Amino acid sequence: MTEKLKIAIVELKEVDAIALAGEFLDKGNSPDELLKLSVEAMGDIGDRFEAGEYYLPELLMAGEIMEAINDLALPLMAEGEAKEKGEKVVLGTVRGDTHDIGKNIVRFMLEANGYLVIDVGTDVPAENFVKSVNESGASIVGLSALLTVSYDPMKETIEALVSAGMREQVKVMIGGAPVDDTVLEYVNADARGATAVAAVVLANNWIADKDK
């Protein structure tokens, strides 16, 4: 069943994937195992996207499948286990950009790996990121973008964190199709995640370093 479920997710067979996920839980498997399996499948989907086999419509479908599986798994996890066993991450798409598929997939991956994600949405002004970090005490900020016009809003958001005296308390990752190392340097972020899996790796490494 495990392999059938993973294949259904990777091949974007939404009805089959959701049905198999429910059956997986009904057979006594833990929701944590389901989420880990989903993360593996998302890794394969990311590989197909990078190889040019999948495009944005396929990522949109993948996001919908992940949301449905997330909805099945999280309510069954022990109180606080799903979202509050890890660090807090403020995540959003910056001002001027209303795309959310990449952000949503990153959110799912982070939540599946134990992070409490404060999703501030899309088209988010710099001051909203600052407010959310201040209220939540998050140690990581994720800025998502799909448009090249988002470079300046990313830079402005990080500058706003500096002005608010919060830059030292947070690590900032950026991501999205147009984001490369030149953009990373321009906006003064700490790192960029080329995929949702890479975003989780970055977060895990930052938390490990902080705990040393």
> Quick one: residue 28, left, alpha or beta (phi over 0 = left, psi -120 to 50 = alpha)?
left
Q: Can 163 be counted among the known catalytic residues?
A: no
What Å distances lie between residue 103 and 2, 50, 107, 110, CA to CA?
A: 27, 17, 6, 11
Q: Can 123 be counted among the known catalytic residues?
A: no
d(CA 42, CA 196): 8
Q: Which of 30, 38, 99, 180 is catalytic?
A: 99
Q: What is the largest CA-CA distance in the chain?
A: 52
d(CA 142, CA 155): 13
d(CA 147, CA 86): 31
Q: Which of 38, 97, 100, 144 is catalytic?
A: 97
Q: Which of 132, 139, 144, 150 is catalytic?
A: 150
Q: Residues with Cβ < 8 Å from 120, sequence gap 6 or more?
A: 90, 91, 92, 128, 129, 132
Q: Which residues are catalytic?
A: 97, 99, 150
